[in-house]
Amino acid sequence: MDASVANDIGEDALSGILSIDLQALQANYRWLAGRAAPAVCGAVVKANAYGLGADRVAPALAAAGCRHFFVAHLLEAKNLKRHLPRDAKIFVLNGLMPGGEPYAALHGIIPVINSMTQLSNWSAAAERHGARLPAVLQFDTGMSRLGLGPEDAAALLEDRKLLRNIDVQFIMSHLASADESLNQQNAAQLAAMQALAARFPDTKLCFANSGGVLLGSDFHGDMVRPGIAVYGGAASDGAANPMKPVVQLSVRVIQTHTVPAGTLIGYGGSHRAATEMRLATLAAGYADGLPRSLSDRGAAFAMGKRLPIIGRVSMDSMTIDISSLPEGALGLGSLVELIGPDQALEEIAVDAGTISYEILTGLGQRYHRQYI
């Protein structure tokens, strides 16, 4: 929701407030860049900057010194371009679908090449364009998701003509288990990446996501590309999360009521009140990105008290138990916290049976978004 809507209606009247701290975001970027130095620090702003608004996040990162931006789709690159300084580079992680090459070539968008088919399509586009075109070559070092395989690497080394139209900016790979500091897959992928780097000795290397930055300098190569840590998320199972929180979410109470023992609460009557309870109904539900899997599991917070979610989460609302608060403490229009000082992003994600990434990218469009 844009600011003008908020001005017309009045912030007090808006049902949910999502506040996004761009200064914390910039501090996180600078911290990661410091960790990664002398490697360059890019930033992943795919999926609308993990749901936080690429139009606001990308310029803030550019102001903090970032010049390398990663998205997943060509359409995201198109939308991002107008928010970035002219010297910024945009990389498309999924590479291009057939037919996307002319647009990318014309606008200087840099695809990640994940297969020999993407390579030959980009190479043909370069022929038509009449100049070599920039690209990143992604190799699969063990995730089996995207990237060129060992036989492709061998083919590229054997027949250098395959790359004659391509200005290879980086070779890259992606870590499958970087958030698990002790997972042996990290060392295995690092060894595979180092073996590749030895075979492409004059080419720069881009390897680490957020977790990879924290794994240490072995993983940094020439450029790192963190996402979740920039947005304040925990990137490692290691020590306490060093990042500053970026997101706070508060939603308003619509009504409160006291129900006797035995009352059925919410769709399906899935919760039966064991005792008399005081309840508050909140003005946000699964359509706002608070997953239905939080039914009878998660909590909101007010006045430092944990207020459990009771019964099923509905599309536009959910019910919490406020029996632990003094009577009258909450009423129509009161705000309760879903993400903030009392409940980290990771905590609500765990209660929902998911990860911080999915909560962030699912944050709804009905909140008043407040950029600090």
Ligand X SMILES: *Cc1c(COP(=O)(O)O)cnc(C)c1O
The footprint of ligand X (CB under 6 A) covers 44, 46, 93, 174, 209-211, 225-229
Least distance CB 230 / ligand X (angstroms): 8
Minimal CB distance to ligand X: which residue? 227
Q: Please provide the DSSP assignment of 95-122 as one string.
A: ---TT-HHHHHHHT-EEEE-SHHHHHHH
267 is catalytic: yes
User: CB within 8 A of 336, min separation 6: which ones?
Assistant: 250, 251, 252, 253, 280, 282, 300, 301, 302, 307, 320, 330
Least distance CB 348 / ligand X (angstroms): 18
Nearer to ligand X, 93 or 336 (CB): 93
Least distance CB 369 / ligand X (angstroms): 21
Least distance CB 21 / ligand X (angstroms): 18
Q: Return the bridge partners of 206, or none.
A: 172, 223
367 is catalytic: no
CA atoms of 310 and 361, how far apart (whole Å): 25
Nearer to ligand X, 173 or 295 (CB): 173
Nearer to ligand X, 16 or 211 (CB): 211
> What's the one-letter identity of residue 179?
D
Q: Are 181 and 175 in contact (CB under 8 A)?
A: no
How would you classify the pairing of strands 264-265 and 166-172?
unpaired
Q: Are 227 and 46 in contact (CB under 8 A)?
A: yes
**Residue of 267, 305, 357, 371 marked catalytic:** 267
Structure tokens at 355: 């990860």
How many other C-beta atoms lie within 10 A of the C-beta of residue 88? Answer: 19
Structure tokens at 232: 């304040």
Nearer to ligand X, 165 or 209 (CB): 209
Eight-class DSSP state of 148: B
Least distance CB 302 / ligand X (angstroms): 31
Least distance CB 46 / ligand X (angstroms): 6
Nearer to ligand X, 197 or 215 (CB): 215
Supply φ then ψ for residue 180, to 5 degrees.
-105, 100
Nearer to ligand X, 134 or 212 (CB): 212
What separation in angstroms does the CA of 254 have from each of 14, 127, 281, 318, 323? Answer: 11, 62, 6, 10, 16
**Residue of 46, 50, 231, 367 marked catalytic:** 46
> Would you name the residues annotated as active-site residues?
46, 267
